[in-house]
Structure 1
Amino acid sequence: MNVARQSDQIRLEFMSFEDVVTALKNEYTTALIPCGAVEQHGPHLPLCMDTDHANALAERIARDLGATLIAPTVTVGCSAHHLAFPGTISLRAETLEAICLDYCTSLAKHGFKRILLFSGHIGNFPVLKDMLPRLREAMPDDVEIDAFCDSIAWIDRWRLAVQNAGGNPDAVGGHADIAETSLMMVLRPESVRQKGFEVGYRGALSEGELRLMWANGIKSISANGIIGDPNGSSTAIGCNCLDAITDLLVRSFTK
């Protein structure tokens, strides 16, 4: 059996309803809901970065958790703070919540007992955290809903992964930086425009700067839309970052 076919077998959209019935009978009662974004990632990365990341993580997480199927990725996320850059598409928070609620309701109706949400786009984390109690309240008592929303742990894992691969952890900023650029060198290498590498905002964002970014957009703190620095990116760093975040999410979902 080829790799593509193995992958198809855990992605709902590539299965028949009979395949899903069989999987549920075999106790595949956990479902992942990956969330992404379509938003600018500096002059050197494509808008699909976060969705590509979510798709890659979903495959790894499902395999590590076992008995888990992957729902279709929610491709567009909450990216209003990137709308100053053409091409970005953003959902309202209530729209993303409605989509996630409809996903969970559908999955629960068919017999999934554990539904796990995560995002390849850190900007979705506050929205997922806010909606989580309402999603739980809307589900039957025998259905567990969880979501990963810890951006600090995520960035810390990236910094350690970059350092362990010989890169500069200070180049991690969280957006179109050394971590995300290295990830795309692994996931979609032809899309990385190395001649477009530019330094963005460097250093930890203060609470005031974060408030400014959410209120006025990322352009208010970074003219090129980058937080961090893509210079020094490599496939080795990208692989380390994938491993690190997979491990973080799997550990979170197996507590």
Structure 2
Amino acid sequence: MIDGDHLRLEFMTSPEVARAIENGMRTIVIPCGAVEQHGPHLTLSVDADHAEHLAVLVAKAIGDALVAPTIRVGCSSHHLAFPGTISLQDSTFEMICRDYCTSLARHGFDRILIFSAHVGNFPPLAGMLPRLRSAVPASCRVSAFTDSRAWLERWRDAVEEAGGEPIRVGGHADIAETSLMLDIHPERVRTAKYEAGKPGLLSQSDLELMWRDGLAAVSANGILGDPNGSSVAIGRHCIERIAALLVAGFAEDDPA
């Protein structure tokens, strides 16, 4: 794991936070995840673990930034056919994000960056963004990364660059997610349980079916893609490439 505890708000004291803000650390990153099935070989914590790890990399790359506690549970209703999955309603997720933003803005953070390692959170994040912005003072800028296509394409590129097969990227419990977990939390990967799921990225009709009837209607084992061929090297490259994508995305949204 990346050693980033000194940047994580929840591991600081209140006076330490006050001094950090006073000294110019007025940007804060809010990572969002999910607690949902990831096939027979990955734990339900994947998206939250991934988001937490990425947030530290993003904060370090941006500079003068801290990391808020991860919103670990997300909008995962399309996974509820699989035991263990916990899902928030979109409205609940929005209220949590709103309360994070208003609390952080009150303390003096003037740039709030939200992203999710769970693609299922992207649509509600995009929808709520105008309301989050109106909930904080005009001096505070709220940004959210919600480009799921760019994320998945970056994974495919990263897997190929690291020597893997991009066709094994499907977006869920695939070679990319399995590899990144081998890098950050290998103890949470059941390597003997690898199974191929639905190959490739989902078509528009597949996506519509998934949102309507749940992921099980598209993939019986809950996997989109294929974890076979996963490696630490692929995982590390995927993480680095997504961190760079987030940093670039937030830079484009920065009016300064």
TM range (shorter): over 0.9
State the one-letter code of the partner of 1:24: I
Q: Tell me the equivalent position of 1:29.
A: 26
d(CA) in 2 for partners of 1:134, 1:141: 12
Does 1:64 pair with 2:80?
no
Q: Tell me the equivalent position of 2:89.
A: 92
Moved over 6 A (4+): none
- So what's the TM-score if we normalise by structure 2? 0.96
Deviations, residues 70-95 of structure 1 (Å, cap 9, x unaligned): 11000100000000000000000000
d(CA) in 1 for partners of 2:86, 2:2: 31
d(CA) in 2 for partners of 1:8, 1:193: 28
Q: CA deviation at 1:9?
A: 1.7
Report 1:220-235 matches (<5 A).
Answer: 220-235=217-232
Q: Tell me the equivalent position of 1:49.
A: 46
Deviations, residues 203-234 of structure 1 (Å, cap 9, x unaligned): 33222211110111000010000000000000
Are the equivalent residues in 1 in contact too, given 2:25–2:65 (CA < 8 A)? yes
> Please, which of 165, 182, 203 is the counterpart of residue 206 of structure 1?
203
5+ residue gaps, structure 2, are none
Q: CA RMSD in A?
A: 1.2
d(CA) in 2 for partners of 1:193, 1:35: 24
d(CA) in 1 for partners of 2:227, 2:2: 34
Alpha carbons of structure 1 residues 92 and 237: separation in structure 2 relative to 1, 3 Å: same
Deviations, residues 170-220 of structure 1 (Å, cap 9, x unaligned): 100000000000011011101211111111001332222111101110000
Q: CA deviation at 1:7?
A: 2.1
> Please, which of 241, 244, 247 is the counterpart of residue 244 of structure 1?
241
Q: CA deviation at 1:6?
A: 5.9
Does 1:9 pair with 2:9?
no
State the one-letter code of the partner of 2:186: P
- So what's the TM-score if we normalise by structure 1? 0.97
Are the equivalent residues in 1 in contact too, given 2:2–2:53 (CA < 8 A)? no
Does 1:148 pair with 2:151?
no
Q: CA deviation at 1:24?
A: 0.5
SS of residue matched to 1:136: helix
Deviations, residues 86-145 of structure 1 (Å, cap 9, x unaligned): 000000000000000000000000000000000011110111001001111111111100
Q: Tell me the equivalent position of 2:117.
A: 120
SS of residue matched to 2:238: helix
SS of residue matched to 2:113: strand
